[in-house]
Amino acid sequence: MRHLKIALTTAVAAVALTAAPAMAEGAKIGILLGYTGPLENLAPPIGDAAQLAATHINDQGGILDGSLETVVGDSTCADATAAANAADRQINADGVIGIVGAMCSGATISAANTAAIPAGVVMVSPSATSPAVTTVEDNDLLFRTTPSDSYQGEVMARLLLSKGINDIAIAYVNNDYGKGFADSLAAAFEAEGGTVAANEAHEEGKADYRAELGSLAASGSQNLVILAYASGSGQTMLRQAIEAGDFTVFVGGDGMVDDTLFNGMDAGAVEGMIATRPGRAEGPGTAVYADLAAAAGLDPIASFGPQGYDNVFALALAAEKNGGGGEGLSAALRDVTSAPGEVILPGEWEKAKALIAEGTDIDYEGASGPLEFDAAGDVPGTIVEMTVNDASFVEVGPAM
């Protein structure tokens, strides 16, 4: 599959901007994802989808009488300071009007608190799922287009119980993502009558998790839920759990949903593994995006890819309506993504731009579904069930 190439050090689709008496023509949007670190394999599809949105915008007349540039940065997912520094560069050196990102929850919170919120810059994460994101004091500057793990935990609990899995041992990576997900899952599972035999944290980056696995196995449950990262502790822990033979059922959260998870392990041992991840809330925009993505050589259902597209497109619509970034952009973002208004679908930039110029209200129905942000900047979203077939994750459908 062909990927749109995004260089970490180069602004994509750039044009030279000429000085103007007031505001420069065009606009810049930051793309801040974990291109290195424990989720590095998930970042390129999100970035590709984000760049596809920029391509559609520039091919249909551009933004604010100029071109849309994307400025790409690496949040690492594992280093909160690196994420904050990358956001600071995008804001203060590159002059972005908004940021798509960060990717992981801790990186998102750090970048928002350290750089974006003090500068009054809007951030929209495609993939930060921790409940802690909801409670950031953000002056209405931090949004996300994926549902909180407070919801994913509830859905996973119901899914497991519906499959006759009545007790679980939870292993979670010790950060905002892992703890928030684990707490939500444990509370929901027990509330529905299940037994959480163990709920234990582990540190990212270790080579050996046999001690942690031994403690989890001692709980008596043979159903191991791993809430960690496919290119990090999640992979090591799953491989060592298979080697030890103490568990018969394996379950993963969205951070585990990447086929590289199975490198170096017995594929047969993970056949039928259960997982959940945020998916697309079916709407008028999802089918349109599927065709646009396929035409560009992208996977229409790549993890958080539709959200990446939506974040660029929605931020650009808001900037076009607001006349740029800065004060009023977050209000404009809410306005262009909420009813009432004439519906705008993915790829319909020229139509949207003309309506905005006429003063007509619009309602962007996105690639990931409707984007009706609540007071905290969250969306309801959809969680889908995944299963493993022949060492590859396959989407089963919405998990209720």
- Residue 31 has a pLDDT of 98
Q: Provide the CB-side half-sphere exposure for 107 (13 A, CA).
A: 31
Q: What is the model's pLDDT at position 256? A: 97
> Cβ–Cβ contacts within 10 Å for residue 347, how many?
24
| Residue 1 predicted with pLDDT over 80 | no
Mean pLDDT of 56-62: 98
377 with 140: CB under 8 angstroms? Answer: yes
Q: How far is CA 230 from the centre of its chain?
A: 15
What is the token pair recorded at 210?
A: 């046999």
pLDDT of residue 280: 85
- Mean pLDDT over residues 305-323, rounded? 98
d(C-alpha 109, C-alpha 89), whole Å: 16
Beta strands in the chain (DSSP E): 27-33, 68-74, 98-101, 122-125, 142-144, 167-173, 195-202, 223-227, 249-252, 274-279, 342-344, 362-366, 369-370, 382-388, 393-398
Over residues 63-72, the mean pLDDT reads 98
The answer, yes or no, to whether residue 9 has pLDDT greater than 50, is no
Confidence of residue 5 (pLDDT cuts 50, 70, 90): very low
Phi, psi angles (nearest 5°) of residue 386: -120, 150
Contact criterion met (CB below 8 Å) for 307 and 368 = yes
Which domains occur in the chain, in start order?
Answer: 27-146+281-370 (3.40.50.2300), 149-272 (3.40.50.2300)
pLDDT at site 8: 36
| Torsion sign, CA atoms 91, 93, 94, 95 | positive
| Rounded Cα–Cα distance for residues 324 and 336 (Å) | 14
pLDDT at position 282, please? 82
**What distance in Å separates the CA atoms of residue 44 and residue 383, rounded to the nearest whole number?**
22
Task: Say whether pLDDT at 16 is over 70.
Answer: no
In degrees, rounded to 5, the angle at the alpha carbon of residue 315 between the alpha carbons of residues 384 and 131 is: 45
Q: What band does 7 get if pLDDT is binned at 50, 70 and 90?
A: very low
Q: Note the pLDDT of residue 18.
A: 29
Residue type, 278: P
Mean pLDDT of the chain: 93
Nearest Cα residue to 334 out of 286, 365, 377, 284: 377
C-alpha to C-alpha distance for 315 and 337, rounded to whole angstroms: 10
**d(C-alpha 110, C-alpha 193), whole Å:** 36
Residue range 248-297, pLDDT digits in tens: 999 999 999 999 999 999 889 999 999 999 998 888 999 999 999 999 99
| Confidence at residue 380, expressed as pLDDT on a 0 to 100 scale | 87
In the predicted structure, residue 10 carries a pLDDT above the cut 90: no
Question: Which H helix or E strand runs over 108?
Answer: helix 105-111
Nearest Cα neighbor of 188 from 147, 219, 152, 216 is 152
As given in the structure block, the two tokens for residue 97 are 């009007």
- C-alpha gyration radius of the chain: 21
Give the percent of the chain with pLDDT over 90.
Answer: 90
Tell me the per-residue pLDDT of 114-160, one tens digit each, with 9 for 90 and over.
999 999 999 999 999 999 999 999 999 999 999 999 999 999 999 99
Give pTM, 2 decimals: 0.89
Confidence label for 361 from pLDDT (cuts 50, 70 and 90): very high
What pLDDT is attached to residue 90? 98
What residues form DSSP beta bridges with 398? Answer: 384
List, in order, residues 6 or more apart from 65 with CB less than 8 Å away. Answer: 25, 26
Q: How many helices (H) and strands (E) does the chain have?
A: 12, 15
